[in-house]
Chains A and B, each alone.
Chain A
């Protein structure tokens, strides 16, 4: 870019992407959620206008304010053009004076618009995979090709999900409002679930475009933080805490050249202490009330890991207790696998293997490479190189991640050496 040139100015990275959701949220609030597509088109036009205008006249002092002002003007022009057909016109059109029309926009609170949008995009009537695509498109400002890359699906599949979601929206099936009262708990649950999935998409996969996947985690955190400001409820803070703890360990998870670094080999000095502190604060905010959510338990587990002075000094039985509670709350074979992995630290590999063997029959784990990777590691620790190799080969065959594949191959080579 044109650094050092005062008349052009320097653009913040991802400015368009980070402003897009705000512009769409504010405009959609006035057009109604069923007219989401109209808002998106007008925001797109706004970006095109910015491109032409800024290139000639330089970047404005406050680019975000320029974009918002132009988007709003385009919205008002749209209302004037399309007459009374739009709901927005009924709403804004009551006051004919242009100044009063502008007033309506001034009243609108950006944060409030974003929160309504979060609840609408995570509506329980939308299928969870469609929700994720919609969240990325509308709340994170991704294009459909970027949505596809982020979710590791084809562009056609991403467009299908977006199409399904848009169909439901344009049919008027979803209201753009933050729920209150008795409805809030259930709706908040759907939002937290979606943000967790979004975070997990970025966190758990080691394949794909590394940069965009780390962005997913940061986007999920940004949305969750916004949620904590208005809905300061224990589960919201607990999920925020969980994300803080996981993100604190980001840099230690990948070695030189992007290889997988096992948890016990991670360099704890690279963990981000600011994020760990933020996580502890969120966890203390989450401690109000007596309901324990899965986010509470997962955040507590992550906190125990983050605050242990070393791998050996980890409170394994405390962590195992949390995993057992979690499994009681939401029974899941992956959690039982985790309990067994912790058991290996406390009671040794043989007990852990005896806990894992029955899990082989679980349909959910039949093609789960980590089950076999774990068995391989435990057999290795028990001194049975042959069994270790058999299991690692199975994990190798099941994984689709090139990073994991390299990791298993390295382990196999070490065993046969």
Chain B
């Protein structure tokens, strides 16, 4: 099994009502629970919608507040999967896909 990082980018939740947010969360929770049940979930956390971008030792750019919600990376999840195809399938089943795009990045691991 390899590990894959799922990055949730472009959160459109700024316009969602509290009721809609709760509905989304319930779908997301069910998905997470399935991940946990299948022993796939390694880690996951929300990210603050701001931070810095360090370009080089002299250049640190404040990232956010974002004018475009689609620039925000809302959170990440690390899951275990056999290969990239399986990881893609997992991400396809994530209900947040309706509200953001998901980057699927294999976590590099040393062979052997």
Q: Which residues of A contact B (CB under 8 A)?
A: 1-2, 5, 7-8, 11, 14-17, 19-20, 41, 44-45, 47-56, 81, 141-146
Contact = CB atoms under 8 A, between A and B. Distances in A.
22 contacts: A1-B30, A7-B36, A8-B29, A14-B19, A14-B22, A16-B22, A41-B14, A47-B13, A47-B22, A48-B74, A50-B25, A52-B28, A52-B45, A52-B46, A55-B31, A56-B41, A81-B50, A141-B18, A143-B18, A143-B20, A144-B17, A145-B17
Given A8-B29, A56-B45, A48 B22 contact: no
Contacts of B50: 81
A37 to B, nearest CB: 12
Most buried by A among B30, B32, B74: B32
Nearest to A47: B21
Contacts of B26: 1, 11
B17 A143 contact: yes
Interface in B30-68: 30-33, 36, 41, 43-46, 48-50
Interface of chain B, helix or strand or loop or mixed?
A: helix
B77 interface: yes
B75 interface: yes
A196 B61 CA distance: 51
B18 A55 contact: no
A51 B17 contact: no
Interface residues of B, number: 32
Contacts of A144: 15, 17
Nearest to A142: B17
A19 B44 CA distance: 25
Nearest to A43: B18
B22 A15 contact: yes
A16 B19 contact: yes
Given A14-B22, A48-B74, A55 B28 contact: yes
Contact of A54 (B29, B31, B36): B29
A264 to B, nearest CB: 37
B1 interface: no
A20 B22 CA distance: 11
A388 B46 CA distance: 65
Contact of B21 (A2, A16, A142): A16
A81 B64 CA distance: 12
B3 interface: no
A356 to B, nearest CB: 43
Nearest to B62: A81
Given A16-B18, A47-B18, 4 more contacts: A49-B46, A143-B17, A143-B19, A146-B17
A20 B20 CA distance: 12
B21 to A, nearest CB: 5
Contacts of B21: 16, 47-48, 51
Most buried by A among B17, B18, B20, B49: B18
B62 to A, nearest CB: 9
The 4 closest A-B pairs by CB, nearest first: A143-B17, A52-B46, A16-B18, A52-B75
B16 interface: yes
Interface in B64-86: 74-75, 77
A2 B46 contact: no
A269 B43 CA distance: 56
Contacts of B45: 52-53, 56
A5 B33 contact: yes
B29 A1 contact: yes
A346 B15 CA distance: 55
A15 B36 CA distance: 24
A341 B112 CA distance: 89
A52 B74 contact: yes
A56 B19 contact: no
